[in-house]
Amino acid sequence: MDLTLELNDQEALRLQAQAAELGVTPEQLARSVLMDLLVESEEEFRAAAERVISHNHELYKRLS
């Protein structure tokens, strides 16, 4: 999947500066940040689901 982002001049300069500091291209940095966000969101969802299941374990047992 190809994705196009529109950044204003200030955002583009910040992305380029951060990428240069890390020794990667702006595209590599943007992809890395997006992947981190997707993984983090998945982990947060899983943790929340596990808390709910654990908290309601007895109720689930009675309903089954």
pLDDT digits (tens, 9 = 90+) for 11-58: 999 999 999 999 999 999 999 988 888 887 788 878 877 887 787 777
Expressed as residue numbers, the domain containing 31 is: 9-63
- The reported pLDDT for the residue numbered 14 is 95
Number of domains making up the chain: 1
| Among candidate residues 19, 38, 32, 27, the one with its CA nearest the CA of residue 2 | 27
Contact 30, 15 (CB under 8 A): yes
- The reported pLDDT for the residue numbered 36 is 85
The predicted model scores a pTM of: 0.63
Classify residue 23: in a domain, yes or no: yes
Contacts of 53 (CB under 8 A, 6+ apart): 60
Helices (H) and strands (E) in the chain, counts: 3, 0
Q: At what angle do helices 26-55 and 9-22 cross, to 10 degrees?
A: 90
Classify residue 3: in a domain, yes or no: no
Confidence of residue 60 (pLDDT cuts 50, 70, 90): low
Classify residue 2: in a domain, yes or no: no
- The reported pLDDT for the residue numbered 48 is 79
